[in-house]
Chains A and B, each alone.
Chain A
Amino acid sequence: MNYSLNAPIVKILIHKDWYLLRKLIALYMTGALLALSFISLGEWQFVMGTTLLFSMVIGLGNHQLTNTIINERKEQTLPLIMSLPIAPSDYVVAKLIANMTLFVIPWGVVVSATIAVFLLTPIPDGILPITIIGALYFMLCYCLTWSVGMISESEGVVLFVMVFTNCLIGPMFYIIFRVPDIAQYVWSPEPHWNSTAISIIACLLALIVVAILAAFYSQARKETFL
């Protein structure tokens, strides 16, 4: 396959998505800041704050995918973009960078802040492995939805994936909390990075990579009409 990236167009497409999503980012980041400021108020506020914090991350991910991928299809912007001198792979690179930066940066901030809270407060640090697993699961949900959106370009399918992966959050934590190698160390003062925790993290990372590559593979097979 002979492919070279059309960098100037990719850059413009990335800026376009950043520009169109700036209000959304502002809204969700404000929500996240509010959630973060709740955390130190007390016990139930801590639970409420962290729930709100991760709701903001999930909301931001789903909302931006709907805006940048699904609406582009619905509002006929996609045919216009694809009429530019651009290969489907350029399009998927632009979408990957635009969407991932807008999700990974807030996600990274939230995850770092959560880890900092655990490390700096009397909350037992043993909770860290499960926190990382949870955070990576949210990342996987986002990448799966992004990938399915890029491949299918169908609102219904994307909504189904969003609902399905979000429904699995509860069961995922339920199962993880019952894995003996993880459950027994949750309330210990030190984090235990044993082989089970590392394996789960590795699996999640592998699935994230597979989800992203699947979108690239699918787009690479598409043919342009120019």
Chain B
Amino acid sequence: MDSTAESRLHEPSGTPLVATQSAEKALQQRLHYLDNLRALAMIAGVFFHAALAYSPMLNTYWLSADSQQSPLVDVVGFFMHLFRMPLFFLIAGFFAAYLVAKRGMKGFIGNRAKRVLLPFVIFMPLCLWAVAAPLLAAVHTVENKSPVLLMIANALANPADAPPQPPPTTMHLWFLYVLVFLYFLTWALSYLDWSWVCKKFNAIKPLVFVVFAPLMLLPGLLLVSSPLPAPDSFLPQLWAFGFFGLFFAAGYWIFHRDNFLEQFNAYWVYLLLGSLLLYAIYFHFIPEKIIVPAPPTEFTTHIVLKLCEAFVAVCMTLVCLVLGKRFLNTPSRSMRFMADSSYWIYIIHVPLLFALQYQLMDQEWNWLSKFVVSLGLTLIIGVASYVLLVRWTPIGWMLNGKKK
């Protein structure tokens, strides 16, 4: 989304609104750090998914799970997993407020339908096919099969003994699906008067926010197991609204809130250290292997895990925002290119990764070499296809708007 703007602020109905300084300022200038952070969150997703093939925790669950694994993947990957998407949804909420202010509710809906709903409708079936085709080939060609590949091979060999088919999922495009619902809620809830809620939140001191915000996330988080699953079902997931939805709402609120991030400038080191400490506790308690469906966890452990998840998600999102504003808020051609290409790369990365990692499963390399090769090739193909097939074509116009 192009975040340069004319100085016009609109209420949801489209009538001019008396703006906060922060909102007015946001409309006047391009918010490089948010564009860049969003791109980093997406590229981090590519890293995360590439690494999952070498995760001991996900070995029984991931399609391209390799025989070579490292606990380091779990330690780093699941730390990132706790705040990568919360950060993304917060930024999505911020830009939703930005679009409503700039174009009115009607313009916002039209823009989001084009940039989010349409790509989901177009790319979802394509990605599904692109995942299924190499999967069926891998079942026959790969010798060192992952547990899931082995299960599929057995099911194909003995259809009578095959387990029931899992329900279709939105795969890695679940975030687009959830965003569509959040945009719908943005429209629906705009008819309610939120000024009293905003007033209460505006008065909250930074440290109270750090304590209070995670507690608000707790009800949603308690509905699911740890580590957090992806809400990739076609049925809307209540927990996703209670977790990612609240980050989205926070982003929406921050757009209208003056100097919110500046209040945390002095605390980011403490937030980072606190998050690392809580993550150590979290990592100690999460299961060594992920089993689907997750077996019930002891109530106290469940609460501890969820508290850790909530606090790490909030604190690390704030750390990313503060550091992003400090170090990523300058115009840079390379960062701009990354911001533009990240959406496309993210959409195509999972089928590519799977196809590449199936080829590497029978190689006698160590996990790091396989990880670097699969990730590197995915990024190279992603960038090359973006430049050749997307950037200057209708696909690019749909994803990022027309380049001037």
The residues of A with any CB-CB pair to B shorter than 8 Å are 22-23, 26-27, 29-30, 33-34, 36-41, 113, 116-117, 120-122
A29-B184, A122-B164 given; 12 more Cβ-contact pairs under 8 Å: A22-B191, A26-B189, A30-B185, A33-B236, A37-B236, A37-B241, A38-B238, A40-B235, A113-B235, A117-B235, A120-B168, A120-B234
- The reply on B296 being an interface residue by CB < 8 A is no
The SS class assigned to the A binding surface is helix
- The reply on B167 being an interface residue by CB < 8 A is yes
In the docked arrangement, what's the CA distance between A122 and B163, Å?
A: 12
The residues of B with any CB-CB pair to A shorter than 8 Å are 164, 167-168, 181, 184-185, 187-189, 191, 223, 233-238, 240-241
User: Across the interface, do A33 and B184 meet the contact criterion of CB distance under 8 Å?
Assistant: yes
Closest to B188 in A: A26
Q: What are 15 A-to-B residue pairs whose CB atoms are below 8 Å?
A: A30-B185, A30-B188, A30-B189, A33-B181, A33-B184, A33-B185, A38-B238, A40-B233, A40-B235, A41-B223, A41-B238, A117-B235, A120-B168, A120-B234, A121-B167
Closest to A116 in B: B234
User: Across the interface, do B238 and A26 meet the contact criterion of CB distance under 8 Å?
Assistant: no
In the docked arrangement, what's the CA distance between A113 and B236, Å?
A: 10
Please give the distance in Å from A39's CB to the nearest CB on chain B: 6
Please give the distance in Å from A43's CB to the nearest CB on chain B: 14
Q: Quick one: which of B191, B236, B238, B240 contacts A23, CB cutoff 8 A?
A: B191
Among A41, A113, A117, find the residue whose CB has the most chain B CB atoms closer than 10 A: A41
User: Across the interface, do A40 and B237 meet the contact criterion of CB distance under 8 Å?
Assistant: yes
User: Across the interface, do A26 and B234 meet the contact criterion of CB distance under 8 Å?
Assistant: no
Task: Give every chain A residue within 8 A of B240 (Cβ-Cβ).
Answer: 37
User: Across the interface, do B187 and A26 meet the contact criterion of CB distance under 8 Å?
Assistant: yes
Please give the distance in Å from A49's CB to the nearest CB on chain B: 9
In the docked arrangement, what's the CA distance between A37 and B164, Å?
A: 23
In the docked arrangement, what's the CA distance between A33 and B189, Å?
A: 13
In the docked arrangement, what's the CA distance between A22 and B185, Å?
A: 13
The answer to whether residues A120 and B238 also contact, given A23-B191, A26-B187 and a CB cut-off of 8 A, is no
In the docked arrangement, what's the CA distance between A36 and B234, Å?
A: 10
Task: Give every chain A residue within 8 A of B233 (Cβ-Cβ).
Answer: 40
User: Across the interface, do A29 and B188 meet the contact criterion of CB distance under 8 Å?
Assistant: yes
Closest to A122 in B: B164
Task: Give every chain A residue within 8 A of B167 (Cβ-Cβ).
Answer: 120-121
Closest to A121 in B: B167
In the docked arrangement, what's the CA distance between A33 and B245, Å?
A: 13
Task: Give every chain A residue within 8 A of B164 (Cβ-Cβ).
Answer: 122
Task: Give every chain B residue within 8 A of A29 (Cβ-Cβ).
Answer: 184, 188
User: Across the interface, do A37 and B189 meet the contact criterion of CB distance under 8 Å?
Assistant: no
Closest to B13 in A: A22
In the docked arrangement, what's the CA distance between A40 and B181, Å?
A: 16
Among B167, B181, B235, B236, find the residue whose CB has the most chain A CB atoms closer than 10 A: B235
Please give the distance in Å from A224's CB to the nearest CB on chain B: 35
In the docked arrangement, what's the CA distance between A38 and B191, Å?
A: 24
Task: Give every chain A residue within 8 A of B237 (Cβ-Cβ).
Answer: 37, 40
In the docked arrangement, what's the CA distance between A23 and B192, Å?
A: 9
Among A22, A27, A34, A120, find the residue whose CB has the most chain B CB atoms closer than 10 A: A120
User: Across the interface, do B235 and A37 meet the contact criterion of CB distance under 8 Å?
Assistant: yes
Task: Give every chain A residue within 8 A of B187 (Cβ-Cβ).
Answer: 26
The answer to whether residues A36 and B185 also contact, given A23-B191, A41-B223 and a CB cut-off of 8 A, is no
In the docked arrangement, what's the CA distance between A122 and B241, Å?
A: 25
Please give the distance in Å from A73's CB to the nearest CB on chain B: 26
Q: Quick one: which of B168, B181, B191 contacts A26, CB cutoff 8 A?
A: B191
User: Which 7 A-B pairs have CB atoms at the shortest separation, nearest pair first?
Assistant: A26-B188, A37-B238, A37-B236, A120-B167, A40-B235, A30-B188, A23-B191
Closest to B238 in A: A37
In the docked arrangement, what's the CA distance between A36 and B237, Å?
A: 8
Task: Give every chain A residue within 8 A of B191 (Cβ-Cβ).
Answer: 22-23, 26-27
In the docked arrangement, what's the CA distance between A26 and B187, Å?
A: 8
In the docked arrangement, what's the CA distance between A39 and B187, Å?
A: 23
